[in-house]
Amino acid sequence: MGGVELLQFALAGLKNGAIYALVALGFTIVYASTGVINFAQGEFYMLGGMLSVWAYADLGLPLPLAAVVGVMTTAVVGAVFELLAIRPRKDGNPLALIIITVGGSMVLSSSARHLFGPLERALPSFSGTGTVSILGAALEIQSIWILGLTALAVASLWYLYNRTSLGRAMRACAVDRNAARLVGIDTRRVVTVSFLLAAALGALAGLAVTPLTQTAFNVGPSVGIKGFAAAILGGLGNPIAAVAGGLVLGMLESMSIAFISSTYKDAIALIVLLSVLFWRPQGLFGRSGREKV
Amino acid sequence: MRERIDMRLVVAAVLGLTVVAAVAGLPFFTSERYILRVFTFAGVNVIIITGMALLFGYAGQVSLGHAAFFGVGAYASAFVVTQLGWPWIGGVIVAIVLTATGGLLLALPSLRLKGHYLAMATLAFGEIMRVVFTEARTVTGGPDGLSGIPYPSLGPLAFDSASASYWLVWAVAGITLLLAANLVRSRAGRAMRALHGSELGATACGIDITGIKVRVFVISASFAGLAGALYAHVVGFISPSTFSLHVSVLLVAMAVLGGTSSLLGPVIAAVLLTLIPFSDAVIPGLSRSALETIQEWQEDIYGLTIIAVMIFMPGGIGGLLRRIGTGRSAER
Amino acid sequence: MSLLQVRDVTRRFGGLVAVDDVSFDVHEGQIKAIIGPNGAGKTTLFNVVTAFDRPDGGTVTFDGVDLTGSRPHRIVSSGIARTFQNTQLFDEMTARENVMAGAHAVTKAGFLATALRLPWTVREEREVAKEAGRLIRLVGLDEWEDVPAADMPHGLRRLLEIARALASRPRMLLLDEPAAGLNTAETTALGEALYRIRDEGATIVIVEHDMGLVMEVSDEIVVLDQGRKIAEGPPRLIQKDPSVIAAYLGEEDVDEL
């Protein structure tokens, strides 16, 4: 295989990795504040794309505005989901909450089908359909948007976590929820905000990728699982590691297509997921000392 | 006190016999293939849900990949019967052995870890199997699936009519339920309920909690495999969509609605939720459009059921039945 | 030789030394108490002895067998049963079922045998139920046999947990603060139950705050302070020991000593 071809695969891996990273960040943020794996995370990705398409094609808004509407509405959906379905389960039993998010995932995808129909929908590229050439390999301009938006999201998140009181409260909750409550942090608000942020990040990924792949009401679960694999690969609970996990996973997938075959490319993420769960549950970048029963 | 317990037993026995008679007698009341078919599906789901009830309701674990075990059983049995010419019972045995082994390999590493890892591992397993079912064309027929799978038969006895396969499925369901009922009322069942109640307390009683969870998971996986071996032959056609994540989630909905520490609750839930998209089989005169509306909204019904039960009645139907049975006004 | 030998046991949590080089023996038929101010390391020591926690150094030997590094559920079969400071009952199960679950280690019926309802499993089940009834009467819970543990008052739950521990026919019973939260009458009942249990042949180790109960029932006392053993001996000597009094100074329990 030539160097240019390899670079082509690497660029594709980077682009997919950035998407996985955004979804993985959503998992990580919710997990950090609740101890819950949010199964509906993939649905936020789906809603980001679908709602943007709706705002653009059905409402006729200009693309930038439609994109903002899509992401913001999904963020609100995430917060409302937390208020209606997560918060009422008072004991916070993680297994029960995980099951609730499984139900929520079904309801969200089904609602999208009721509202926007069963067909695939598309969005135009943000700035032209052309490609740029990098050392001979072609990169779609939309992919540059994806990488840029991911970088922007990570930077904003870093700012939020390190420079704001809300971010400090979220970090405190991630370390020890009970202690955070004792020092007067409104942990319930932190949980709601976590869902809001997770939904916004998922929506951003779904929005950015729709011009390349189209979207539909049922795309959530498969992306959700990959994002989760990325989060686990990085080590649940650490945002930076989640991003790294996403990029590594994207690369792994791309390289497996390059060197093995594309038949089982969808299984790569899952095999990675199982391998990490079995052999290194704290993730590649997590601290050792696994949580035993 | 003593007399009231006896009365309860009598009531339970009469109710139980009535239900058994009604289930067994259904083919005498209707000869409509469609109705029998729908209730045969319900029976298949009852077999799977019996294992899920042990896993979720007694051992407190959740699996998001049981449709995959169901599928492994179905494809394995269909393969050895159609390609290797084995008798059906051989397919059943292969299905059970394969799913039990798969369950063991999946459960051993993930159950050493805390709560949600099993859910994640089973989810990944389910999706991997979906890819395998679709891509391993020589064995599975790819996305189009396998058709022309012969009816189940035991020696000269062929279950080649709608009523015969109905009886076969429900007889097997009855046996699995009986085995599970024996299990939960014994030392092993107490151990399951104990570890659900308090893992520390159970350990102090000498209960190997990981060992018990692994065993329960293996049982539930092999029940799903058994159900698959029945389904493939009773229906005669299988394809990947029958064993998707969607079906795994539907099974979770049945287990959740069925409730904890109960077999009867999950059985009722399995039958109810199976019937939803086939409501016209139980409601005579249901209009075509009404049925379509129900089918249109079934996903929402399943999803909302899961959420509502987890929030408002975590004990599910089983908890409800217990409250009626013991006359306690509230769970606690 | 003594039944339980604890030798040089040390347990650290980060920089904190919770148990610091502690050694003591428990002899067959004794009631031995472990006391000490809050944070003295009593419960940690208890968890090490029952293999719920691993020591960073030292050994625990029971009846000549080294238990260090055992898995906790195996400890029961070697003849050690325990209770918890926060009762760990099975709330959904009745008192009798709780005690029957306690017999897990001394019964055999496995998954396959019980699913098939083999005759010997039915016999075993009957015997376990009968023995559970006897133990429930031994701790004085006759009227609560069919009541779910969740519906029992706090004090009685502690007694039920003791009955459950007894169901494994232990040679040694470890009780972690059995009198916590009990009123005077319940504490008296507990003391009586402890004597009955010892008379049946069990050795008892008890971690306890209630000095009245400790002085009343124990044959020997080990005093811990900040993880170290500062005294060991019969109650009368411990009460006069200056280092013990010093350790308790400022603690409310000092009046009761």
Q: What's the rounded mean pLDDT across residues C8-15? A: 89
pLDDT band at A50 (very low <50, low <70, confident <90, very high): very high
Q: What's the rounded mean pLDDT across residues C37-47? A: 87
CA A105 to chain centre: 14
**Pick from A133-142, B60-69, B241-250: least confident:** A133-142
Q: How confident is the model at residue B132, as a pLDDT?
A: 92
Q: How confident is the model at residue A293, as a pLDDT?
A: 28
Q: What's chain A's Rg over C-alpha atoms?
A: 19
Q: Do A277 and B109 touch (CB under 8 A)?
A: yes
Classify residue C130 as exposed, middle or buried by CB count within 10 Å of its CB (0-12, 13-18, 19+): exposed
Instruction: Please indicate if any CB of chain A lies within 8 Å of the CB of B131.
Output: yes
Chain C partners of B314 at a C-beta cutoff of 8 Å?
Answer: none
CB of A222 closer than 8 Å to CB of B244: no
Classify residue B234 as exposed, middle or buried by CB count within 10 Å of its CB (0-12, 13-18, 19+): buried
Instruction: Please indicate if any CB of chain C lies within 8 Å of the CB of B209.
Output: yes
Q: How confident is the model at residue A185, as a pLDDT?
A: 87
pLDDT band at A73 (very low <50, low <70, confident <90, very high): very high
CA-based angle B299:B300:B302, to the nearest 5?
65
Q: Is the pLDDT of residue A285 over 80?
A: no
User: For residue C215, which of C168, C255, C174 has the smallest C-alpha distance?
Assistant: C255
List, for residues C13-35, the tens digit of each pLDDT value: 888 889 999 999 999 999 999 99
Q: Is the pLDDT of residue C213 over 60?
A: yes
Chain B partners of A104 at a C-beta cutoff of 8 Å?
Answer: 303, 307
Q: Determine which of B58, B104, B182, B186 to mutate to test the interface with C (most C C-beta atoms within 10 Å).
A: B186
Q: What separation, in Å, do the N-terminal and C-terminal C-alpha atoms of chain B show?
A: 22
Residue of A nearest to B296 (CA): A114
Chain A partners of B135 at a C-beta cutoff of 8 Å?
Answer: 263-264
Q: Determine which of A110, A218, A271 to mutate to test the interface with B (most B C-beta atoms within 10 Å).
A: A110
CB of B172 closer than 8 Å to CB of B46: no
Distance from CA of A288 to the nearest CA of B (A): 14
Q: Do A232 and B120 touch (CB under 8 A)?
A: yes
CA-based angle B169:B170:B175, to the nearest 5?
100
Domain over B32-276+289-326 is classified CATH 1.10.510:
no
d(CA A178, CA A190): 13
Q: What separation, in Å, do the N-terminal and C-terminal C-alpha atoms of chain C show?
A: 31
CB of C1 closer than 8 Å to CB of C215: no
Distance from CA of A267 to the nearest CA of B (A): 5
Residue of A nearest to B199 (CA): A293
Residue of B nearest to C123 (CA): B186
pLDDT band at A287 (very low <50, low <70, confident <90, very high): low
Domains annotated on chain C, with CATH: 1-79+170-257 (3.40.50.300), 91-168 (no CATH)
Q: Do B300 and A111 touch (CB under 8 A)?
A: yes
User: For residue B303, which of A111, A44, A95 has the smallest C-alpha distance?
Assistant: A111
d(CA B20, CA B42): 15
Residue of C nearest to B181 (CA): C115
Q: Is the pLDDT of residue A91 over 90?
A: no
What one-character-per-residue DSSP string does A232-250 give? Answer: HHH-TT-HHHHHHHHHHHH
**Pick from A64-73, A155-164, A179-188, B111-120: least confident:** B111-120
Question: What are the angstrom distances between the C-alpha of C174 and each of A25, B131, C45, C156?
Answer: 47, 53, 11, 18
Q: Is the pLDDT of residue C188 over 80?
A: yes
- CB-nearest to A106 from B62, B123, B249 is B249
pLDDT band at A22 (very low <50, low <70, confident <90, very high): very high
The CATH code that applies to domain A3-124+132-279 is 1.10.3470
| Three-state secondary structure of chain B | CHHHHHHHHHHHHHHHHHHHHHHHHHHHHCCCHHHHHHHHHHHHHHHHHHHHHHHHHHCCCCCCCHHHHHHHHHHHHHHHHHCCCCCHHHHHHHHHHHHHHHHHHHHHHHHCECCHHHHHHHHHHHHHHHHHHHHCHHHHCHHHCEECCCCCEECCEECCCHHHHHHHHHHHHHHHHHHHHHHHCCHHHHHHHHHHHCHHHHHHCCCCHHHHHHHHHHHHHHHHHHHHHHHHHHHCEECHHHHCHHHHHHHHHHHHHHCCCCCHHHHHHHHHHHHHHHHHHCCCCCCHHHHHHHHHCHHHHHHHHHHHHHHHCCCHHHHHHHHHHHCCCCCC
Q: Do B179 and C90 touch (CB under 8 A)?
A: no
List, for residues B29-69, the tens digit of each pLDDT value: 877 888 999 999 999 999 999 999 999 999 888 999 999 99
Residue of B nearest to A31 (CA): B116
Q: How confident is the model at residue B2, as a pLDDT?
A: 47
Q: Do chains B and A touch (3 or more CB pairs under 8 A)?
A: yes
Q: For residue C183, how many other CB atoms are within 10 A of its CB?
A: 11
Q: What's the rounded mean pLDDT across residues A181-207? A: 93
Prediction ipTM score: 0.89
Q: Is the pLDDT of residue B248 over 90?
A: yes
- CB-nearest to B110 from A225, A232, A277 is A277
Q: Is the pLDDT of residue B8 over 80?
A: no
Q: What's the rounded mean pLDDT across residues C153-161? A: 90
Instruction: Please indicate if any CB of chain A lies within 8 Å of the CB of B210.
Output: yes
Computed over every residue of chain C, the mean pLDDT equals 89
**Pick from B1-5, B61-65, B209-213: least confident:** B1-5
CB of C144 closer than 8 Å to CB of C175: no
- CB-nearest to A106 from B123, B303, B311 is B303
pLDDT band at B297 (very low <50, low <70, confident <90, very high): very high
Q: Do B311 and A85 touch (CB under 8 A)?
A: yes
Residue of B nearest to C77 (CA): B206
Q: How many CB pairs under 8 A join B and C?
A: 112
Q: Do B204 and C105 touch (CB under 8 A)?
A: no
Q: Find chains touching chain C: ≥3 CB pairs under 8 Å.
A: B
Distance from CA of B154 to the nearest CA of C (A): 22
Classify residue B307 as exposed, middle or buried by CB count within 10 Å of its CB (0-12, 13-18, 19+): buried
d(CA B235, CA B43): 13
Q: How confident is the model at residue A204, as a pLDDT?
A: 96
Q: Where are the domains of chain B?
A: 32-276+289-326
pLDDT band at A289 (very low <50, low <70, confident <90, very high): very low
H or E element at residue C47: helix C42-49
List, for residues C174-185, the tens digit of each pLDDT value: 999 998 888 888
pLDDT band at B330 (very low <50, low <70, confident <90, very high): very low
d(CA B143, CA B140): 8
Q: Find chains touching chain A: ≥3 CB pairs under 8 Å.
A: B
Chain C partners of B200 at a C-beta cutoff of 8 Å?
Answer: 52, 84, 88
